[in-house]
Amino acid sequence: MNDNLVPPAAIGMQITDVDTPALLLNLDVFENNRIKLKKQLTETKTNFRPHSKSHKCPSIAKLQLEDGAIGICCQKVSEAEIMSKAGIKNILISNQIVGPTKIQRLVKLSKSASILVCVDNKENINQINNYAKMFDTRIGVLVELDVGTNRCGVVGEFEVLKLVKLISSHSNLDFIGIQAYQGKAQHVREYNARKSLVENASQAVKRALDLLRENDFSCKVVSGGGTGTFNFEVESEVFNEVQPGSYVFMDGDYGRNLDAAGETIDLFGQSLFLLTTVMSLPSDSRAVVDVGLKSVAVDSGLPDVCLKGVRYVSASDEHGVLEIPRLIDLKLGDKIKLIPGHCDPTVNLHDWIVGYRDDKVELVWDIAARGAFF
Amino acid sequence: MNDNLVPPAAIGMQITDVDTPALLLNLDVFENNRIKLKKQLTETKTNFRPHSKSHKCPSIAKLQLEDGAIGICCQKVSEAEIMSKAGIKNILISNQIVGPTKIQRLVKLSKSASILVCVDNKENINQINNYAKMFDTRIGVLVELDVGTNRCGVVGEFEVLKLVKLISSHSNLDFIGIQAYQGKAQHVREYNARKSLVENASQAVKRALDLLRENDFSCKVVSGGGTGTFNFEVESEVFNEVQPGSYVFMDGDYGRNLDAAGETIDLFGQSLFLLTTVMSLPSDSRAVVDVGLKSVAVDSGLPDVCLKGVRYVSASDEHGVLEIPRLIDLKLGDKIKLIPGHCDPTVNLHDWIVGYRDDKVELVWDIAARGAFF
């Protein structure tokens, strides 16, 4: 939170009085998304470890634990520190923690919380063990398997085995399992194409599990899956933990994924909006609003406008230009809801999230891990 | 500043020890950029009012005042509040301030600082006057003229005259001048194309000035121009104030503008970098670094890599994938400098800027107006 700033809303306010730009959360839809996910998972044996990088908000993480989450995922050690300080003590850092500064923070944190971390590199494994020894603590590690995202992770079961052997030879590390997140599959529109990417991932994980078993290594956790694919990971009988994060909010990009019938998926509803103000009406076909690049991420496209026939057509630092049909009667100061193209980096631009019900502000949550990219 | 976070650097540290992602400022290049701008402006009669939306940092704004700036520009009332609190008392809010909440903050601020604001709408003018009267203060206003950016502003001299007449009829407003910022021209690569857009803008301003003069209105300030064009505004003999902001830092996008000879402009040097760490080396042609969408803006393209032959090819939330030539010997934990595509929204993602000289950290500045988009 930037303590130079005043929050955009107070509890009890009408949402039309909220200052803009503001992140709005429709609490009915948000709660319904949580219920729907819970329902999808309670009939399975798959654990639920939601990713907090989407919301960066301890208040939401705590609700997810109430929903039955066994812990949370963080992407960064600074994110995990903030969540731990807020009382969340079971955290998988679903990422590599590299270099002396960050590794020291990791091992220190592991003394007050149960911390797991991903690895994909020998020297990194050795370094984490050395610092864990120095600080007299133990760290649980997951080997990251690259299942087609082409980002971090080792490729193939033999590389997994090599790292597991190394981990097991170290005094202060515990081999816990495998992370196999198919990041690229999350946003593949077509149902069967998405499903087939996760099936390939599951097969790669299965090969690794078989090889580890042959070598007498047991693998407690197999973690992966996001909002776009977690149902496939659940069905796989290979994964026993899924990591969806965006399902609480949704966004323009996730909203374009299709189900088996070729229809837009409607499992989760859009709960996250950006409230913006019409700040200029230069012509009868153009309105300018106060949400630009500093309050909405545009990497997955420009935001959608919650007004029929109106399009957000260009973003500059603090301006957004709307193309409006001539019949629409917009007034200066009107407040309009936008749907961000990509929720994670949009949330990270804000210090507060304003929860509302029946157009009235019910809560203002601090996005405590905003900017926690260390 | 997020008080949940620890700054990435301490004074005296080697830059290779700075935690990442971090915004690095090469102080020699930064100072040289300031000297170069000063040199360009001292021989002219044009006032210099740098835009603080680029740096959001009171420490930098104060140095610009030492360089001869007559004040600063802010884009938002919350930005102006933070700058005023830091002691900067001459501020043009180069934007429309709309709605009761923001207008009240504007008039309150005008009681402790000299505040100018842009207008392009009758009701907005009436509202600002009403609140100024209510709070017993005066506000100086500039009419924004749209000179081809197709964003805010009125089109044509007759619309300017109408608004100036309205402003002059109000008890608590002072008509100060015209803002005519050709935003789109800033990033037009070709020198003559860029020049010609500003010449058109100057002619539109001149027509407005002539009409105002015929109607006995005097226009004290004509403000506009950014890093990409300010030299043309200076030459115009129409503008008497320029607003460059990015010149202190530069970025990948500004670095692609061409001079009259068709060469890349080298007036200002690249002083702003993003320090990133190699966090995974999955293959001999790929490295993964820890700068992604949450620490670099990608609206003007992916960042450039300060290592010959290396390209940043894809960004996800907290990962960046580098394509590396097979001959380059990168090690896990190596720190690499990146050049952001667009400096303004990148700076806004960070809480600190780390200034260095001879590879040693000399200062850590608070980006106090980070997130000040209200």
Task: Give the model confidence (pLDDT) of B15-25 as tens digits.
Answer: 999 999 999 99
Helices (H) and strands (E) in chain B, counts: 9, 17
3-class SS string, B26-58:
EHHHHHHHHHHHHHHHHCCCCEECCECCCCCCH
State the complex-level ipTM: 0.97
Computed on alpha carbons and rounded to an integer, the radius of gyration of chain B in Å comes to 22
Could you read off the pLDDT of A30-60 as tens digits, one per residue? 999 999 999 999 889 899 999 999 999 999 9
- Residue that the structure tokens 């157009």 belong to: A359
For the segment A109-118, the average pLDDT, to the nearest whole number, is 97
Q: Are the C-beta atoms of A347 and A55 separated by less than 8 Å?
A: yes
- Residue A242 — φ and ψ, nearest 5°? -120, 155
What's chain B's length in residues? 374
Q: Where are the domains of chain B?
A: 15-23+266-366, 29-250
Token pair, residue A350, equals 């804000």
Could you tell me which of A337, A297, A241, A294 has the C-alpha nearest to residue A54? A297
Which element (helix H / strand E) includes A184?
none
Could you tell me which of B6, B101, B57, B61 has the C-alpha nearest to residue A4? B57
d(CA B371, CA B374): 8
How many percent of chain B have pLDDT more than 70?
Answer: 100
The total of other beta-carbon atoms located within 10 Å of residue A338's CB is 28
How many percent of chain A have pLDDT more than 90?
Answer: 96
- Superfamily of domain A44-249, CATH level 4: Alanine racemase (3.20.20.10)
Nearest-neighbour CA in chain B from A40: distance (Å): 26
Which element (helix H / strand E) includes A109?
helix A100-109
Confidence band of B327 (pLDDT split at 50, 70, 90): confident
Chain B residues touching residue A151 (CB < 8 angstroms): 280, 282, 288, 316, 319, 321
Would you call A317 an interface residue with chain B, using a CB distance cutoff of 8 Å?
A: yes
d(CA A175, CA A160): 11
Residue B350 has pLDDT above 70, yes or no: yes
| Interface contact flag, B282 A146, Cβ < 8 Å | yes
d(CA A344, CA A373): 12
Could you read off the pLDDT of A81-108 as tens digits, one per residue? 999 999 999 999 999 999 999 999 999 9
Would you call A360 an interface residue with chain B, using a CB distance cutoff of 8 Å?
A: no
- Which CATH number among 1.10.10.60, 2.40.37.20, 2.102.10.10, 3.40.30.10 corresponds to the domain A15-23+266-366? 2.40.37.20
Chain A residues touching residue B153 (CB < 8 angstroms): 280, 282
Residue A69 has what pLDDT? 98
**Nearest residue on chain B to A322, judged by CA atoms?**
B151
Note which residues in 164-203 of chain A have CB less than 8 A from chain B. 183
Residue B139 has pLDDT above 70, yes or no: yes
The domain made up of B29-250 has a fold known as: TIM Barrel (3.20.20)
Residue B1 has what pLDDT? 61
Q: Tell me which amino acid residue A313 is.
A: V
Residue B138 has what pLDDT? 96
Chain B residues touching residue A372 (CB < 8 angstroms): 2, 4-5
3-class secondary-structure state, position A126: helix
Helix axes A157-168, A122-134, angle to 10 degrees: 20
Could you read off the pLDDT of B210-260 as tens digits, one per residue? 999 999 999 999 999 999 999 999 999 999 999 999 999 999 999 999 999
Q: What Cα–Cα distance (Å) separates residue B54 from each residue in A154, B41, B174, B344, B347?
A: 40, 20, 28, 4, 7
d(CA A195, CA A233): 9
| Interface contact flag, A151 B370, Cβ < 8 Å | no
| Interface contact flag, B5 A101, Cβ < 8 Å | no
Can you spell out the DSSP letters for A271-304?
-EEEEEEEEEEEETTEEEES--TTTS--TT-PPE
d(CA A35, CA A15): 25
Q: Tell me which amino acid residue B171 is.
A: S
Nearest-neighbour CA in chain A from B319: distance (Å): 8
Q: Are the C-beta atoms of A251 and A343 separated by less than 8 Å?
A: yes
d(CA B275, CA A81): 22
In chain A the first and final C-alpha atoms are separated, in Å, by 16
Note which residues in 94-123 of chain A have CB less than 8 A from chain B. 95-96, 98-99, 101-102, 120-121, 123
Nearest-neighbour CA in chain A from B44: distance (Å): 29
| Interface contact flag, A53 B290, Cβ < 8 Å | no
Would you call B8 an interface residue with chain A, using a CB distance cutoff of 8 Å?
A: yes
Summary mean pLDDT of chain A: 97
| Interface contact flag, A371 B2, Cβ < 8 Å | yes
Confidence band of B285 (pLDDT split at 50, 70, 90): very high
The minimal CB distance from A5 to the residues B78, B279, B321 is found for: B78
Token pair, residue B323, equals 């394509």
The total of other beta-carbon atoms located within 10 Å of residue A16's CB is 10
- Preferred mutation among A85, A106, A151, A335 to probe B, highest tally of B CBs within 10 A: A151
d(CA B79, CA B73): 10
Could you read off the pLDDT of A285-328 as tens digits, one per residue? 999 999 999 999 999 999 999 999 999 999 999 999 999 998 88
CA–chain centroid gap for A224, Å, is 12
- Residue A64 — φ and ψ, nearest 5°? -65, -35
| Interface contact flag, A4 B372, Cβ < 8 Å | yes
Residue A2 has what pLDDT? 74
Nearest-neighbour CA in chain B from A43: distance (Å): 31
**Nearest residue on chain A to B156, judged by CA atoms?**
A282
d(CA A124, CA A153): 12
